[in-house]
Structures are given as structure tokens and as C-alpha cells.
A and B are shown apart, each in its own frame.
Chain A
Amino acid sequence: MIEAREISKSFGEKTVMHSVSATFETGKTNLIIGKSGSGKTVLLKSLVGLYDVDRGAILYDGRDVTRMGRHARQQLRQEIGMIFQGSALFDYMTVLENVRFPLDMFTTLSAGERRKRAQQCLRRVNLEAQADNLYPAEISGGMQKRVAIARAIVQNPRYLFCDEPNSGLDPTTAGVIDSLISEITHESGITTIINTHDMNSVFTIGEHIAFISGGRKLWDGDKETILKSDCPDLQSFMESAVRLMSLGK
């Protein structure tokens, strides 16, 4: 379980996150939703430790990241997998090398074992063996996302973070990516946090949802209760999102 306790973050004079508290449970797909510029990426990057928060605490199963030293934080990061909006695959490595990279850096497995584990993860995300020796620039956006998922899970992480994992993908591929993340979360019992503004994701995999607006958490619940929410900002977000969906954008 990951818990944010009254965390705040400013960039210069501008406060982008105001005393946000939220709990993200283990074995569930936890979604952070909100409009562009609402502060959800800052929240996700703060949770994962890419930004240092100004105030508050972030607890990973009781371990406070904000009070950890650099070494302890680096150790914790080996329990974390992250899927970035643009996949963030290393251009100079092949698909297989990208997935094998965390194993090369942190394990004492033999070269054969590392290769086998990386291939296992690539097959898990339904990527054919022919793709193993291709470079990221040679594969489609959807395939890049699947490689990013494989890389994120190769070390059996306890925590999985996804920053807009289906942005820039067609609805079918986006659905495939959502399903993959949800399946992996349930089969491995990990804590997954997904940052999204895609309402399809909300209604298909949203087991726990936190709505962020203006750097504040205004609502949390699940996909069953979201439609009954009386939060005006959430209602307006939902209306505009549903309108865009019906227009096919």
C-alpha cells in the first residue's frame, strides 16, 4: 500500500499541489484522474520520488520515502516499475536489451537466465520473438508500450506506476494496454497507480479512483460510485470527457 499524507509541492512561487492525502491499495488498479494541468503528473512523480515534496509524507508499506537517504531510496526503487507516457525506452538498445537492462544492472543471474527472464516478460505482454532484436524506433507505439510494461515488471516489482500509459494509442490498443496492466496487477498482487484522463480506463479498470483538480484531491471512490459523485468539478470533467468520447476524440 502507498499512502500520501498531506503532501505539497511548489515550483518557485507557484504551488502545484496543496496538501494532498490519498491511499493506494495493494492488488488494485488505483487511478489518478484529472484535466491536463491539474497536477496529477506532479502527484505521480512525487509519489515515485522523481520530485521531492515540500511538506507531508509518502509511505510505501509504512516506509517513509521523504525521510529516506539516497542509498535507501535507491534500494526501494528496485521494488518499483514505471511505465512512462512516451515509453522512455533506450534508443540504443534492442527490445530484448531494454527489458534485460534492469537485470544486467542489479542481479547476479547468468547471461542465459537474464535473457530467459526478459523473453518471458516479453511473451507475457504478447510480443512475438521476432521483435526481440528490433530497436524501439522500428516498432509501433503500442508495441513500445508493451516493451515498457515488460521492462517495468522484469524485476517483479511490488509497486507499479503508469503515467498515461495509453496516451497516443488507438482505443483498441489502449484497451489492450489497460487489460495487461490490470491482469499483471491482480496476478502479482502489486500496488498499481495509473495516471490517466481516459474515461475508458476509468470504467474498465478503475478499482480505486482519485480525482485531482487545481493541485487538490477533490474526490475518491471507484468506478461504480464515480457517476453518483456530487463533486461539481468531477461532474464537469466527466461531462467534457464523455462529450469528447462521443465525438470520437
Chain B
Amino acid sequence: MIVDPGIGMIGRYCRFMYLVMGRPEKWGVFGRRILQETYKLGVDSLGIVTLISFFVGAVVTIQLANNLDNPFIPTYTIGFAARETIVLEFSSTIVCLILAGKVGSNISSEIGTMRITEQIDALDIMGINSAAYLAAPKVVAMVVSVPLLVMYSMCVGIIGGWVSGFMTGMVPSDEFIRGLHFMFKPYYIFYSIFKSSLFAFIIASVSSFFGYYVHGGALDVGRASTKSVVVSCVMVLMVNLIVTQLLL
């Protein structure tokens, strides 16, 4: 039956997460690894997040301006709609889907390569909980850094929209800024950050899981990497639906 492998995989994932939550052998080493991973997974993603956020913010504003050309709709609505789009969905969900591709494949292929080159066996032989040593710092680093990246993305996206609005002459600067202030609900920021933390956990844990259980060679590492990105994306979209229904 097709359900059996799925249930088996969920069981293995739960067992893996139980190992990941194990007590670190040395807190000092664990702390250092969190810092290294935060730099590698978070800081190194700043470039792509900046680029995508700026241009998507700009495009969203132009498209809104083109579609909201009814004289009965005030111009500041464009700023308002751009803000809502960026804060509620783009910066949290779309940026996380992009990170699932960039960071997820990185995590999965790194751990998978360590598996096939017996580096994970070497950790196990030393008496180290390899799942916790490898995956826990990545999960913590992602849960900490992704919400910060999401907040950064919100700022850059809105700047992108503002710049494109006055550069194209479609939305005057003051109108755009008025729209940004219009009906602003701080709860939406909390909601966005909360769900991005969940997505970060999913991306890091699912990618680590697929990497950790790789068998075979380089081809299998590639397959695991692809699978981890696909499963992470599907999970992110499903959790997004549930969280949106529950929190909004």
C-alpha cells in the first residue's frame, strides 16, 4: 500500500527528531556550532533575500498600480495592498519557500555527503549523538535567523515598492507612505514571524532528516536533496494553510 512507506517515514522522522532533541555532549561546542550555522544559513542568505524582496516589492507595487486605476479607489490603497501582500504572505511564505530551495538543499547534501563518506559513522563510533550534533545547531540557527530574515525582507520589499512607485511616477511617495500606515495591525507582523519560525523548523529538520538517512552514493545524495526541497515546500504550504486558518 502507498500509505505504508509514508507512515514509516513519519515514524522515522519522529525517531530522528527524538535523537536531535538529545542533550548535547558539550554545550560550548554546541553554542559555537549554532553561531557557525547561523552565519552559514542565515547571514549567507541575506543577498538572495535582499534581491528577491526588493524586486518582488517593486513588481507588486507596479502591478497593483496598473490594476487599481479606478478613480474611486484612492492611490494610497496601492501602498496599503503592497504592505499587506509583503507582510502577510510574501516575506514569510515565499521567502521561506526560496530558503527551502537554497538552505534545504545545502543542509541535505552536506549531511548526506557526510553519511556516504562515513563521517557520520565516525561521529557515532566516538560516542557522539550524530543526529543531535549535526542537525540540532542547524534547526536552532534556522529558527532564530529566518524570522530575522523575514523582518528584513519586509523592510526591503516595502522599500522596493516605494522606490518603484515614485520612480515610475505611478504612486507618489507620500501616498505610498500613507498607504503603509493605513489600517496597520501589528498582529500581522507577529503572525508572519510566528509562521516563519514554524517554516524554518520544517525546512531544517526535514532537510536534515533526508540527508541523515541517505544510502548509496553521490546520485542518492542528489535525490535526497531534491526530495528534501519538495517535501519541505509541500509541508510549508500545508502548514501555512493551517496556521492562516487558525491565527487570522
Contact = CB atoms under 8 A, between A and B. Distances in A.
Contacts of A73: 127
A78 B126 contact: yes
A80 B118 CA distance: 16
B122 to A, nearest CB: 4
A203 interface: no
Max chain B C-beta neighbours (<10 A), residue from A50, A78, A84, A88: A88
Given A104-B26, A106-B25, A90 B126 contact: no
Contacts of B183: none
Contacts of A82: 121-122, 125
A106 B28 CA distance: 12
Contact of B125 (A77, A101, A104): A77
A221 interface: no
Interface in B104-157: 114, 117-119, 121-122, 124-129
Contacts of A48: 125
A48 B127 CA distance: 11
A105 B126 contact: yes
Contacts of A74: 127-129
A50 B124 contact: yes
A77 B124 contact: yes
Contacts, number: 54
B46 interface: no
**Size band of the interface chain B makes with A:** 10 to 19
A50 B125 CA distance: 8
Nearest to A90: B119
A246 interface: no
Nearest to B128: A105
Contact of B127 (A45, A75, A90, A161): A75
B29 interface: yes
A56 interface: no
Contacts of A49: 125
A138 B160 CA distance: 44
B25 A105 contact: yes
Nearest to B19: A70
A102 B125 CA distance: 10
Interface string A42-73: 00010011100000000000000000000001
Interface string A85-115: 1101111000000000110111000000000
A48 B119 CA distance: 15
Interface string A134-165: 00000000000000000000000000010000
Nearest to B40: A92
A12 B101 CA distance: 34
Q: Which of B119, B124, B125 has the most CB of A within 10 A?
A: B125
A112 B128 CA distance: 23
A86 B117 contact: yes
A146 to B, nearest CB: 16
A105 B26 contact: yes
A105 B119 CA distance: 16
A78 B121 contact: no
Nearest to A85: B118
A189 to B, nearest CB: 21
Given A105-B25, A105-B26, A106-B25, A88 B117 contact: yes
Minimum-distance CB pairs A-B, first 9? A77-B127, A88-B118, A88-B122, A74-B127, A82-B125, A84-B118, A78-B127, A88-B119, A105-B25
5 contacts: A77-B126, A78-B126, A84-B122, A86-B117, A105-B126
